[in-house]
Amino acid sequence: MKRSVQILLSLALILCSIGQLTAQKAQKYLPSSPDLVIGVHPAALNKKVPLEKLKATRGWEETVQLISLFVKGGDSTLYKKMFSDPSSFGLNTMEGMWWYRESIGDTMLYRLVIPLVDKSKLETQLAATLEEQSDLFDWNSSPDQGVLEITDSEWILAWNKEVLLFSNATISINWYDYYQQTNLPDVAVDSAVTGVDDVMIVPEEGEEEMSDEMIVPDEESDIEVDVAIDSEDVEAQVVKEENKLGLNPVAWPLDTTTTYVSPIFTPIEDNYDGTYTRYDSLETANKAKALAFNRDQTTALLAANGYQRALNNPHYLTLLQQTPDVSLFMDYEKFYGLQGKFGPAARLPLGGMDHGMDTYMSFVSSLSSITQSMYRGAALTASMNFNNGEVVADMRIHLNEKMKAWNKRTYKTSLSTKLLKYLRGDRSVAFMGFAFHPENAWKVFREVMESAPPSSKSPGDFMFLLDALVDEKAISKIWSGECLAAITGIQSVPKTVTTYEYDEDFNQKEVVKEVIQKIPEFTLAMTHKDMDTWKRIMQLGIKYDGLEPMGVNAWKLKGDGSSALTDLYFGLTEDAVLISNARDLVENKRNTGYTGRLAYNAEQKKLLKGHNMVMYLNPSQFAELMLSYFNADGSESAQADLERIYNTMDYMLISDEKSKEKTTSSMRVKFRDPQKNSLLQFMEYLGILSDMRSKNEM
Amino acid sequence: MVLRSIRVIATLALLLQFSSCFEITEDITWNADGSGFIVLMLNLSESKPRMDDYMRQKEVQGYKVPKKQEVEQKLELARKTLASTPGFTQVSTQLDWKNYIFSLRGRFSTLASLNNGVNKVMSELDNGSKVYTGDHYTFSKSQFQRKNPYDWKPERYAELPMTLRYMLEKARLTTVYRFPVEVQKSSNPKARVSPNKTALKLTEPISALAKGSVSLENRVTLQIK
């Protein structure tokens, strides 16, 4: 997942360098109902940093390499040439390019839209570049459009006179879920084998009917696949099917004929009574089906010169009016809708892990419908700008009125800084804090659970039981809603070991010596309203031999120090409970907190103030911590790499603000050089990471 | 190749992935008749606190931490292989799980049996690989030579995972040779001769050996009357 995000981000970033054209033309190629759209707007960025400088970085090379891996097939020559000199390919997209994801039936479609101004240039370049790789690429073109297919890749490149599309479609099913579905007595095997009849979106009772833009069920939108399961027959079957794709409302003709070869497979020893073989066939068939679907959808879209009804979500249109370097739009309702889409109502795709858990799964499934209902009409918009010295990403979540009201009751306006004094600030590695109203949060939780659709009774039952056990007022006394957790540095803990050394005549002798073990130092600080209750809890800990006192209002977790990773201490003050492995904090600085140079400085406090959720990470301190943990901190090259990280990136900060009026998030990545463009520094940072992975100079 | 060799010598390849402060020792005592006693030792004791954690966790960074039984099986395989080599006797292993010190030791009758035994152990532990054929040690008149029969390539080292490379910079390999006569001269400038002049010790970082920037090779001239 992390790698996918990195690839997508990289893809978005590199496209910043490509050409010029009006955004409107490309906009026509965005469907009316994607769940995710990322737009890149290089015109603004180009004013901030010369693209030639970006291209000279190691990070740029890495990014092109990543794209090649992402698209797969062939070698990277085509993409390197295309992204290094897009205008020579007729690409001229300075005003914007878009990547989107859309779910159509059981198929997930991914597409990148790049404006094109010179079709013949593109085709001339493709011919020249691919001349020596004809076995890896297959392409053809007409005066109106062209398609390029890549051997062993699920991606195709297709173009008309307006745009170049990178397009991918996938139909996937998890093996374990498949096995479970096809081997449980209550599930029809035939349906699961074809894999095309089991995905239906049926509105819950009381829910709105799906609009005409929504997905047409498979019975109206299938390319039928004749899966060759007869083990005696290993001949290819050529299947011609009439294309009756359930497309979103577009105006192009839909009577094209699709031809492809269904899979040839050789029967293998099958330990699952044939299930493995059937699954293997299904997977191959799914790939063929997806590729055909992709080809037909894409060529039809290009023939129609875009969607008749393109994306016109008001939040998205508002976002378009801004001029960020990168923009993001996410349809929350659709996004969460996808979660409940992959199986019958009571079964989610959990890799077959839900054996014997039908009640639980029914409950989880109900939660999914609750979530979908909570986010009805909700969307996320975000803009990212690469300014000098920092990357700034501002996100806004557009919620429905019900969610806004819940947010207002649940979250406190902002995290206070009173807990900060308990955290050592001079060597902070990572930090997270949030503030909310526990009592209100519980009430909201209850309302949410009780809002489950009538057919899903489990959450209500669960809530009834839980409500009987939980006293929200008591909870809010022992935890009044604010919490800070931080990794505040690295502890050096001396440990005694027995080892061997050589005497002056080089004879081995046994010696006992002290070695230093390095472990992360962490602290959790929570606000409370009732010191007496906490004292009673600690007394219970002592009574049952779990804690030992360390003076007034300080305790240590009992345990064999030699076997535990670290000692753990508990401290109590008038307003806070502290849990930490920093003995000095709990024993000596509990009442005063850290002061002077050990405390958070004014600049750090300013960063952390005014949010109801905040996360902070210092990359160089984090890297140092990791190296220490793996005992690699004495390495010269590790130190050199650390220094390079330190000299490039300062910190990363993510913060949230939630209120009735708005829910916003902000991400800031601060670089060391305030004068230098942050994208350039980011590319250099990628180069450092790349060097760390392979040190050919060594 | 050096890493392969080291890992095979140590027989605890998987454990090495999880520990940086470790030392591999090749300790040979020679008798006047060409026989002798060899101890190969892997000492992870300086990483003991971390090793305790890793053994508890069973998996670190996606890598499976070997079980005690797996390590013991490897060492037993090495013992059996060495014991079956003609010329080897009194072959034994020592496993100190408290301090993470593991050794394989045995008495050899001739130089040929030593070379043969070392190669057989390495080959066996490397799934029957045929690459371990060269002589590690030779004697010619008054000259003893520690050879490096392997092709150590720095580019292979560069392909190792980043954290493993960092760790190997702190790991050491030590050779100690004790002779029945005094050492007159040693070609490797980093080798130290003991005050009584009968022992020679050389310690190098494993990363430097793997990159080929330093070598264990040494020609030692002995004072033979």
Whether the CB of B46 is below 8 Å from some CB of chain A: the reply is: yes
Whether the CB of A500 is below 8 Å from some CB of chain B: the reply is: yes
Name which residue leads in pLDDT, B212 or A328: A328
Q: What is the pLDDT of residue A21?
A: 38
Name which residue leads in pLDDT, A264 or A663: A663
pTM equals 0.68
- DSSP alpha helix (H) spans, A207-325: 275-303, 314-321
ipTM score here?
0.81
Judge residue B59's burial from the number of C-beta atoms within 10 Å of its C-beta, 0-12 exposed, 13-18 middle, 19 or more buried: exposed
Q: What is the pLDDT of residue A367?
A: 66
pLDDT digits (tens, 9 = 90+) for A1-27: 344 444 444 544 444 433 333 456 788
Beta strands in A603-648 (DSSP E): 613-617
- The CA distance from B192 to the nearest CA of chain A, in Å, is 10
Q: Give strand pairing partners of B115.
A: none
Name which residue leads in pLDDT, A64 or A27: A27
Among the partner-chain residues B155, B196, B201, the one whose CB lies closest to the CB of A696 is B155
- The CA distance from A689 to the nearest CA of chain B, in Å, is 10
Question: How far apart, in whole angstroms, are the C-alpha atoms of residue A482 and residue A531?
Answer: 16
SS3 of residue A268 by DSSP: coil
Cβ contact, residue pair B211, A698, below 8 Å: yes
Whether the CB of B101 is below 8 Å from some CB of chain A: the reply is: yes
CA angle A283, A286, A288 (to 5 degrees): 115
pLDDT of residue A611 exceeding 60, the answer is yes
Cβ-based neighbours of B28, under 8 Å, separated by 6 or more: B36, B37, B38, B39, B114, B137, B175, B176, B177, B178
What mean pLDDT is predicted for residues A399-405? Answer: 83
Determine the residue of chain A that is closest to B16 in CA distance: A630
Cβ contact, residue pair A500, B101, below 8 Å: yes
Cβ-based neighbours of A697, under 8 Å, separated by 6 or more: none
Among the partner-chain residues A498, A627, A692, the one whose CB lies closest to the CB of B99 is A498
Mean residue pLDDT across chain A: 74
- Per-residue pLDDT 10s for chain B (225 aa) are 444 544 444 444 445 555 557 889 999 999 988 899 999 999 988 888 778 777 777 776 666 778 888 889 888 999 999 999 999 999 999 999 988 999 999 999 999 999 999 989 888 877 777 667 788 999 888 899 998 766 667 777 777 777 677 778 888 899 999 999 999 999 999 999 999 999 999 999 888 888 888 888 999 999 876
Determine the residue of chain B that is closest to A696 in CA distance: B158
Which value, in Å, is the radius of gyration of the alpha carbons in chain B?
17
One-character DSSP codes across A441-457: HHHHHHHHHHTS-TT--
What mean pLDDT is predicted for residues A162-191? Answer: 66
Judge residue B212's burial from the number of C-beta atoms within 10 Å of its C-beta, 0-12 exposed, 13-18 middle, 19 or more buried: middle
Cβ contact, residue pair B167, A565, below 8 Å: no
Cβ contact, residue pair A698, B178, below 8 Å: no
What mean pLDDT is predicted for residues A438-466? Answer: 74
Determine the residue of chain A that is closest to B161 in CA distance: A693
Place of tokens 């910043």: A16
- Neighboring chain A residues of B174 at a CB cutoff of 8 Å: 502
Among the partner-chain residues B47, B52, B176, the one whose CB lies closest to the CB of A502 is B176
